[in-house]
Amino acid sequence: MPHFSLRQAVTFFVLFAAIFESSLASILAVDYGSDWIKASLMKPGVPFDVLLNKDSKRKIQSSVAWKKDERLFGSDAANIASRFPEDSFSSLKYLQGAPFNSDIVTYFTSISTAQIAETDRKTVALKQSDGTEWSTEELTAMQLSYIKKLAEELAGEPVNEVIVTVPPYFSQLERDSITDAIEIAGLRTLALVNDGTAVAVNYAMTRTFSSTPEYHVIYDAGASSTRATVVSFAAAEDPKTKASYTQINVLGVGHDRNTGGTELDLRLRDILIDSFMSKHRRDIRKDKRGMAKLWKEAGRVKAILSANSDATSTVESVAFDVDFKTKVTRSEFENACKDLHSRFAKPIYDALANAELSLPNISSVILTGGNSRTPMVQAAVKAAVGDDRIALNVNADESAVLGAALYGASLSRQFKTKDIRVTDVLIHDIQASYLASNPGTRTIHTAVLPAGSKHGARKTLTFKRKEDFSVVLNYPNEVMSGFPREILEAKIVGIPEAIDNLTERGAIDPVIKATVVLSESGFVSVGDAIAYGEIKDDSITGKLKGLFGGGGDQVPLETDVDEAAPKDEKMEKDKKDKAKKPLGKDQSTIPLEIEIVYNSQGPLSLVAKRAARERLRALDNMEMSKQLREEAHNTLEGYLYKLRDLLNDGPETPFTKCSQPSERQTLSNKLSETIEWLHDEGDTADTLQLWEKRSVLENLEKPIVHRYKEIESFPQALNNSQKWNWSTRLFLSQARENITADAIAGVPSKWTSQELDALEKALKEHESWLHDGVERQKKTKMNEDPAIDTQEMQQRAKTLEQHLQRLVRRKVPKFKKTPAKSGDASGSSSTEPTEAPGDRQPGHDEL
């Protein structure tokens, strides 16, 4: 196929250009989990590691909450659920992209004490106790923005690019939801990466592989789901550069969206509920605080049961003023989860089946994800794959985020990392649907991107159409109960004009070609559409062109015209590379416009995203000004106490000694007035007023403070002045002796007598100023303003010092050697560079 080599050439060019593009920006990687968020920053010069939160924790609880009007994140937010059950929001990942009426939302309400509401897009918002509603995307954006700030503190610069992990099964709606949140947070999506794939990158980073592929299963047991990814690792060689790299191919994925750590928490919480109800005969499910406490307790008990055969659960005042205490055994817990046992291992089998491999082909099953530590889960996996295949050789919590960061780094090409290339796959079938041209009522469905299609794939569909029409991309199978099947409708417009144009120019049977693309981040869309027809050129030049192959054989996307079967195009890494340029020049190709329409739920509109961003920004600003106000309030309060103490500390303090009774009286009056004001109006006063009140008092205090500061620094300043006074005198007497001696010996001197006179004059002025000041200061009382300013003393001493140093540093002047003179010790200095002109009157001129 001729277009392959061209495309490769273009790809190569694009890659080449990217290598030299060096905008050394930081990249943030986020592993956004239902329970925990892990983040990592890639920045040249910053050690590559997991980002710490303000408590130096390596993982951050995936929660956002309000305590009255204070917004909290991380464990602060999660912990407050027992006090403010309707204002603490966790497990938001379940809600990403979820239609309000879907089963997953019902599930969410069974684990959360938060109130849900329906947005105008028919997705989910969460409702604070004061009625404020926040969409899932806005809350997620708040968390991402919080992470962004942590990263920026570490980076010391703005961080704008982010790569976020998603489960491989995330449908387009869910991927849209997270990218919308990223944008609302003021970040740019570098990529979304499937979490199993990120772990594979992390795994490959420190290992070497042979050219024979090695197969592993990444078994990721998370909070919200369990998934298995079959991956091959192999060494490969770049055909162009001959450099070796590691190729990672995702071959198959299996998943269970309802089997995860959260489900175990739920089962355990239900044990606690049953126990409470049988003991206390009250329905704790009606008490939100009680339910929030039990939810937290379930997590704690689960952790204890991971290492012990039983656990005692104690919750003080859980609900109805009851102190709850019960014992849970591991076997009781495991019994309640019996049905899950087989489900834990199933994703592995599914992944293998999708990869068309079997267990013996697998070198190891790499366990990762927080829930992989649960004995029940490990036992299920061991039973399924055998003890010897289990590998615990990646960090269960951090491998995904670190892998994502490395993957992001390789995409941005700013970092020298091991060359790892990844091919990921789509796991849901995607079909294209459109009305048949004739009779135009029958809908044709084409499996355009079946499950297993590679990320980056492009498929071209060819249509015989004369009128505008639409291609709808949709899931033939339900991806989640209650989720819409339709992804988007691509309206291809301008067809009649284009066909007319081609026909008029002699094209025979022109067709429409539409390209369906699967991006590296797993999004599908209709990338471009063209009208195409081969033109028979009857002119002489046309015939000649035809003869020499220069005519109508411009790179067609497809050679055969077949309405139903999509054709694979070569996988493309770069969006820019669409061979647009050669097509643009091609007279027989006319690009068509595509309008993307979302008939069911789509991504947030630009307007909605902007509005959400403004809302979050307003909240940030409000919090910021509140914080500043609080600071101003506290500073003023602290200052008032300090002043009060100063005024009350008795006659022996420097403050009293250096102030006059009238000054203290004024200050005291103003102080009482301000204390009263702070008491009455301090809570409503704004930041500026608070600063002003302090400033008034400070101005009254300032002269007093100045006095004792001056008294304190006076001896030192005087000593310093005297030191230079003394040094200058000493220098002058020596220097005068020396120039006299020089004159007698007939050798040049370093200084002229005028220079020494000038120095002496400066010294005398200094001395007389100092003397005068010191005398006046002696007569000044402590509570009067000082007669001489120590700062000026320092300044004048400095001036004198500089004058002196200039002369001291003077080198012996050049002495023009006359051949007759011998025994001239300084003769060798004749080659030394002279000083800058003007700095001295050279002595040798006098010779």
Ligand X SMILES: *[C@@H]1O[C@H](CO)[C@@H](O)[C@H](O)[C@H]1NC(C)=O
List interacting residues with ligand X (CB under 6 A). Answer: 357-358, 360-361, 501, 504-505, 590, 715-716, 719, 722, 725-726, 729, 731, 734-735, 738, 767, 770-771
When the beta carbons of 358 and 660 are compared against ligand X, the nearer one is: 358
3-state secondary structure at position 16: helix
In the complex, minimum distance from the CB of residue 248 to ligand X, in angstroms, rounded to a whole number: 15
**Shortest gap between Cβ of 499 and ligand X (angstroms)?**
11
CB of 324 to ligand X, least distance (A): 54
Which residues, at least 6 apart from 797, have a Cβ–Cβ distance to it below 8 Å? 717, 720, 721, 723, 724, 766
- Report which residue type is found at 342: S
User: Closest approach of Cβ 175 to ligand X, in Å?
Assistant: 30
Q: Helix (H, G, I), strand (E, B), or coil: what is residue 689?
A: helix
DSSP 8-class letter at 324: E
Using an 8 Å Cβ cutoff, are 80 and 87 in contact? yes
Q: What is the largest CA-CA distance in the chain?
A: 124
- Taking each helix axis from N to C end, the angle separating 687-745 and 661-681, rounded to the nearest 10 degrees, works out to 140
432 or 495: whose CB is closer to ligand X? 495
Least separation in angstroms between CB 347 and ligand X: 20
Closest contact distance (angstroms) between CB of 788 and ligand X is 11
Indicate the residue among 605 and 719 with the shorter CB distance to ligand X: 719
Of 96, 92, 188, 189, the residue nearest 143 (C-alpha): 92
Measured from the CB atom, the residue of 504 and 683 that comes closer to ligand X is 504
Close Cβ partners of 545 (under 8 Å, ≥ 6 residues apart): 537, 551
Identify the CA nearest to 249 among candidates 366, 85, 423, 8: 423
Q: What are the residues whose beta carbons fall under 8 Å from the beta carbon of 128, sequence distance 6 or more?
A: 66, 86, 87, 134
- Least Å distance between CB 763 and ligand X? 8
Least spacing, CB of residue 718 vs ligand X, in Å: 7
Nearer to ligand X, 542 or 703 (CB): 542
| Nearest-approach distance from CB 813 to ligand X, in angstroms | 13
Distance between CA atoms of 199 and 394, rounded to whole angstroms?
Answer: 8
Of the two residues 363 and 634, which places its CB atom closer to ligand X in the complex? 363
Burial of residue 238, with CB atoms counted within 10 A of its CB: 0-12 exposed, 13-18 middle, 19 or more buried: exposed
| Closest CB to ligand X among residues 346, 505 | 505
Rounded to a whole number of angstroms, the minimum distance from the CB of residue 500 to ligand X is 7
340-355 helix and 375-385 helix, angle to the nearest 10 degrees:
40
Closest CA to 246 of 233, 259, 258, 257: 233
Closest among 470, 515, 196, 224 to 348, alpha carbons compared: 196
The Cβ-side half-sphere exposure at 478, using a 13 Å CA radius, reads: 7
| Dist. CA 789–CA 767, nearest whole Å | 15
In 45-197, the DSSP E strands lie at 46-50, 60-61, 63-67, 70-73, 88-90, 115-118, 124-127, 133-135, 161-166, 188-194
Phi, psi of 233 (to 5 degrees): -120, 135
| Least distance to ligand X, CB of residue 679, Å | 47
User: Whose Cβ is closer to ligand X: residue 716's or residue 799's?
Assistant: 716
Closer residue to ligand X (CB): 33 or 748 = 748
Supply the minimum distance, in Å, between the C-beta of residue 767 and ligand X.
4
Task: Report which of 707, 716, 714, 717 is spatially closest to residue 654, judged by C-alpha positions.
Answer: 707
Q: How far apart are CA 272 and CA 284, in angstroms?
A: 10
- Smallest separation, CB 811 to ligand X (Å): 11
DSSP assignment string, 262-316: HHHHHHHHHHHHHHHHHHH-S-GGG-HHHHHHHHHHHHHHHHHHHHSSEEEEEEE
A 10 A CB-CB count for 63 gives 25
Q: Which two tokens stand for residue 202?
A: 């992390």
Measured from the CB atom, the residue of 268 and 362 that comes closer to ligand X is 362
- Give me the helices (H) in 649-686, please: 654-657, 661-681
For CA atoms 136, 139, 142, 147, the dihedral sign is: negative
Q: Which C-beta is closer to ligand X: that of 204 or that of 590? A: 590
Tokens encoding 200: 């594979």
* Burial tier of 498 (Cβ tally within 10 Å: 0-12, 13-18, 19+): buried
Q: Residues in the chain, how many? A: 847
Q: State the DSSP code for 356.
A: T
Nearest approach, Cβ of 735 to ligand X (angstroms)? Answer: 5
Comparison of 744 and 820: residue with beta carbon closer to ligand X: 744
The CA distances from residue 449 to 43, 325, 352, 460, in Å, are 37, 55, 20, 11
User: 94 or 751, CB closer to ligand X?
Assistant: 751
Q: How many whole angstroms from its chain centre is CA 480? A: 30
The bridge status of strand 124-127 relative to strand 133-135 is antiparallel
What is the sign of the dihedral through the CA atoms of 564, 567, 568 and 574?
Answer: negative
In the bound state with ligand X, the residue whose beta carbon lies nearer, of 417 and 722, is 722
Joined together, the tokens standing for residue 631 give 């600071």
Rounded least distance, CB 155 to ligand X, Å = 43
User: Minimum Å distance from CB 711 to ligand X?
Assistant: 14
Give least dist CB 586 to ligand X, A. 10
Give 648 or 740: the residue with its C-beta nearer to ligand X: 740
- Considering beta carbons, is residue 197 or 749 the nearer one to ligand X? 749
Nearer to ligand X, 128 or 727 (CB): 727
Distance from C-alpha of 115 to C-alpha of 259, rounded to nearest angstrom: 24
Choice between 329 and 361, CB closer to ligand X: 361
Least separation, in Å, of the C-beta of 167 and ligand X?
26
Q: How far is CA 833 from CA 311, 824, 829, in A?
A: 88, 18, 9
